[in-house]
A and B are shown apart, each in its own frame.
Chain A
Amino acid sequence: GQQLNQSPQSMFIQEGEDVSMNCTSSSIFNTWLWYKQDPGEGPVLLIALYKAGELTSNGRLTAQFGTTRKDSFLNISASIPSDVGIYFCAGRDAGGTSYGKLTFGQGTILTVHP
């Protein structure tokens, strides 16, 4: 089935540094979503993208829908300790017939050292 390649798998950074992570797919996607999950909680939606080339910000977070429609990236600027968590990309395959079915990346585990 469809797979998303999310990288990096984990990151260890200093507080104040910028972070970048990305997801690529083997087929065209028509929706890209970025979620963050804290321990003991469910994934929280950070940014939703719907058009190729779309660039959207949410505070210190910026995400883009790649122009090829096969990739997306998430940037976090000036990281702080509460950015720690697992970040998941998710998307819907444009050729998919299973309505409502999202494909998830494997996640990026972010650790921020004070």
Chain B
Amino acid sequence: DTEVTQTPKHLVMGMTNKKSLKCEQHMGHRAMYWYKQKAKKPPELMFVYSYEKLSINESVPSRFSPECPNSSLLNLHLHALQPEDSALYLCASSQEATGFEPQHFGDGTRLSIL
């Protein structure tokens, strides 16, 4: 079992809907990440939070809005998504955001946009 928990596991939404993805870790990690992954491709970094502050935004469209309410929680708010946004969204965490510490991934949310 992964120590990074993501909910929901699956999400189907229309292009006008607003929904949120949630991620939780209790390993005391101070860095958390959102990735987007297409089938049989590597994860693509979207956002990095370090000590609850956004440190990296990989030029992600504003229809994706991250939020880090506290050191254990990471949300990704979704609004007006496009069909090409259908993918597996992975959350990860690491001790720090220096890159020297390995990142541990959750099992992801499978998102389908109708």
Contacts and interface: CB of A to CB of B under 8 A. Distances in A.
A99 B97 contact: yes
Nearest to A4: B42
Interface in A47-65: 48, 50
A104 B50 contact: no
B48 interface: yes
Given A101-B45, A102-B45, A45 B90 contact: no
Interface string A27-49: 00011010100001111110010
Contacts of A43: 43, 90, 105
Interface residues of A, number: 27
Contact of B102 (A45, A101, A105, A109): A45
B107 interface: yes
B21 interface: no
Interface residues on B, range: 20 to 34
B42 A99 contact: no
Interface string A89-114: 01010001011111011110100000
Contacts of A50: 100
A100 B107 contact: no
Interface of A: 30-31, 33, 35, 40-45, 48, 50, 86, 88, 90, 92, 96, 98-102, 104-107, 109
Closest 3 interchain pairs by CB?
A100-B97, A104-B42, A42-B105
